Structure 1
């Protein structure tokens, strides 16, 4: 019998929280009567977290473990967990105990009501300003670009229908854009406030550096969603105004030269006009190259390696998961392509 719920928990150096988290998850989900599994994905931890997780898997029929050889990032860890998941509903959450498992039944209610993707909103956050300020800026920019106003894109506490996950290809920092990615495909996305606890163990892995990476990946998401069939348009939106400003500056200087209003060779506006024209035309040319690439070959998926994978009874599986979507040998069941929205 297929499971109704899969909970995917990526972790990196969280040795002090794994066991407590599992206890809280079981306590929260068991009373609902919903059959479930918990999939822990070790993203190359260097502490005792993988050992504790392996012992946990050996003692619990509800848990399984995937070990990466090294740190490949949260997106890769989530991808591996999604491919291993067997539930009709998949919930993701962080392993640092800041997400409260008691919120899981509320996510299930939203999915059962017909929503495809439910994103958590840490309405009252217990994080330092170095983490909250970049997050607010990121949420504001992404919400405006995609027209999906969520308070907290960065929250790792989310729920998905399996049919929605079948259309995700995560790498880099794209896990933070999953609501926008699925919204662009027509899936219904909602948001619910969730309890957020202060971090009591370990250190946060997020900050201003992640904001910079996220903003760079924003262009990737734009290319793969709104402009996936017309990448030249995105670069043209940037390049044409800059090119136009450059030509306008050069035209103005040309008029001054023709009417004898003085030399123009030493004017800063001349250098601005030349650089603007060069940069703008390069952006347009980049868009044309992107069109050629899109038409000639599919985008290759990022690879990740799994050192070992443990089943629900704790035994080492003979064929561990090795790569993501298209080039994989795995014992995990691959989700079928949906024929339409399914009710959970």
Structure 2
């Protein structure tokens, strides 16, 4: 008898009650839902609990999407973690594509709006132009072939969380109000770069980004574009400085993936 890997959906949310009313009913009961609340004031937690009483509720320890995801990763218990936005932009029916890419041998299933079968109802020509430029810089620096560096719909095996070396969630927030590196919207780029630097097996998965239904995005084209560029440079320096494990050692850390998949199939 075969058995599929268990899946945890990690959803950062701050004042997303209206969107969660649409999103949560679409997620199958078989998935573990880890909701990371960013100190919402609109009843996000109450709405989520009313729709999914079984969800795992986490309160993020600092501010920023990166910190929320790091908190959620630690609370997840599934074999696979899926990064999922609460704003209705991610299509839940695509989750099996990500899971299958991992079962087929990938360590990291990277969503892409710009590979065959992907698309976006939301991106502007200016943001796409910026994304193309950032892709080029990252691909040259990390010898990758990313087509969509800044997309946040991704999945990976949970036991690789340590490979990412994200900021410790127990560290207090800086007194000056600034965020720790990795706590902000740069988190998707940080994750992409660190998996690439680790020699992870990366597969791009086509994904169609939908429009946010309620509320407004906090993204700023120029501010966040420069932050991503700074992130690429910082992560490249980090890799060259040897702060990552060697590729040989990192491959050894990633190699057990084959054994896990075979064990799942044999169940």
TM-score of the two chains, using structure 1 as the length reference: 0.60
Instruction: Answer yes or no: is 1:66 the counterpart of 2:53.
Output: no
Cα distance change on mapping 1:12 and 1:36 into 2, 3 Å: same
Instruction: Answer yes or no: is 1:162 the counterpart of 2:78.
Output: no
* 2: CA distance, partners of 1:218 / 1:179: 10
Instruction: Answer yes or no: is 1:132 the counterpart of 2:124.
Output: no
* 2: CA distance, partners of 1:68 / 1:88: 22
Is this contact kept in 2: 1:179–1:189, CA < 8 A? no
* 2: CA distance, partners of 1:133 / 1:222: 22
Instruction: Answer yes or no: is 1:215 the counterpart of 2:214.
Output: no
Select 1:340's aligned residue among 256, 260, 266.
256
Cα distance change on mapping 1:45 and 1:176 into 2, 3 Å: farther
Select 1:108's aligned residue among 94, 99, 113.
99
Cα distance change on mapping 1:54 and 1:212 into 2, 3 Å: same
Instruction: Answer yes or no: is 1:52 the counterpart of 2:43.
Output: no
Query: How big is the shift at 1:339?
Result: 7.9
Instruction: Answer yes or no: is 1:20 the counterpart of 2:22.
Output: yes
What's the CA shift string for 1:125-146, capped at 9, x where partnerless?
A: 1223454333333222212211
Cα distance change on mapping 1:214 and 1:87 into 2, 3 Å: same
Matches within 5 A, 1:118-197: 118-122=109-113, 123-127=118-122, 128-170=124-166, 171-172=182-183, 173-197=186-210
* 1: CA distance, partners of 2:157 / 2:80: 5
Cα distance change on mapping 1:203 and 1:131 into 2, 3 Å: farther
Aligned Cα RMSD in Å?
2.3
Flag the structure with larger Rg: 1
What's the CA shift string for 1:308-335, capped at 9, x where partnerless?
A: xxxxxxxxxxxxxxxxxxxxxxxxxxxx
Q: Per the alignment, in what secondary structure is the counterpart of residue 7 of structure 1?
A: strand
Is this contact kept in 1: 2:107–2:254, CA < 8 A? no
* 2: CA distance, partners of 1:47 / 1:141: 39
What's the CA shift string for 1:161-217, capped at 9, x where partnerless?
A: 123222112324233231221122121001011122122221122222111112222
Query: How big is the shift at 1:152?
Result: 1.1
Matches within 5 A, 1:2-41: 4-26=6-28, 35-41=30-36
What's the CA shift string for 1:86-133, capped at 9, x where partnerless?
A: 111111111111110000111111111111100111232122345433
5+ residue gaps, structure 1, are 231-336
5+ residue gaps, structure 2, are 167-181, 245-252
* 2: CA distance, partners of 1:93 / 1:161: 15
Query: How big is the shift at 1:38?
Result: 0.7
